[in-house]
Amino acid sequence: MFITLEGIEGSGKTTQIQTLVRFLTAAGLDCLTTREPGGTPIGSQIRSVLLNPDNGALAPTAEMLLYMADRVQHLETVVRPALSAGKVVVCDRYFDATLVYQGYARGLDRDMINRLHRLACNGMMPDFTLLLDLPPEIGLDRAWSRIHADDAHARESRFETEALAFHQRVRDGYLDLARREPQRFAVIDAALDAAAVGEQITAVLATFIKARFPSGG
């Protein structure tokens, strides 16, 4: 089973992935957590290029292809082997992020991005996606507070430097995908405090797991 978390900057994915894993583990499921970009040693090098704020001149198509390259390596060496071993893979961002950030927000052709995903990744999609949704003003405020407090986050702040309108397009893109695939997406109100967000995640996961494993095992 392949589960992903998506959302704009500051939506709390890194925090809430722990809530998700605790719930799944308590349900008796063996979980692997990972992320994109950077879920592999090679991907970590790609991540350092993609998120470095000094790389503002990176062309949108080059940006998109770097994300695709990271994903191919990630799928081949981490995700597919873990799924084949019977694990639940929980991933912080996946293909929806590429479609939203480089398609909806950067303006690249979304049909082209989808075709590349089918070609390079065999069109692999998650079984379930949690979209942590909140207004970009709130998300960016949270993200910049984190950046100012941590040099590591400051080194990965290229997207936070984008204009507010860019982040609004990202949010709108995510919500459009969720409307198009309501059977895959669960939209979580991430503007609430972390505990309340965690309660929402637990509730939707309980429903999903019950539907996926109706016999309880």
Which residue ranges make up each domain of the chain?
2-212
Mean pLDDT to the nearest integer, 82-86: 98
pLDDT of 139 reads 92
Rg (CA), the chain: 17
118: exposed, middle or buried (Cβ count in 10 Å: 0-12, 13-18, 19+): exposed
Mean pLDDT to the nearest integer, 85-98: 98
Residue 168 has pLDDT above 70, yes or no: yes
Alpha-carbon distance of 149 to 194, in angstroms, equals 19
More confident of the two residues 43 and 211: 43
pLDDT of 211 reads 85
Contact 64, 120 (CB under 8 A): no
Residue 151 has pLDDT above 90, yes or no: no
pLDDT of 215 reads 63
Nearest to 125 by CA among 172, 170, 180: 180
pLDDT of 161 reads 87
Residue 216 has pLDDT above 60, yes or no: no
**pLDDT, tens only, 16-65:** 999 999 999 999 999 999 999 999 999 999 999 999 999 999 999 999 99
Residue 102 has pLDDT above 60, yes or no: yes
Mean pLDDT to the nearest integer, 165-193: 97
Mean pLDDT to the nearest integer, 100-118: 98
Q: Report whether CATH 3.40.50.300 matches the domain 2-212.
A: yes
Alpha-carbon distance of 194 to 80, in angstroms, equals 31
Q: CA angle, corner 104, sides to 103 and 107, nearest 5?
A: 60
- When pLDDT is cut at 50, 70 and 90, the band that residue 150 belongs to is confident
Mean pLDDT to the nearest integer, 88-100: 98
Query: What's phi and psi for 183, nearest 5 deg?
Result: -75, -20
Average pLDDT, the chain: 94
Residue bearing tokens 């309108």: 165
pLDDT of 19 reads 93
Nearest to 188 by CA among 2, 12, 1, 9: 12
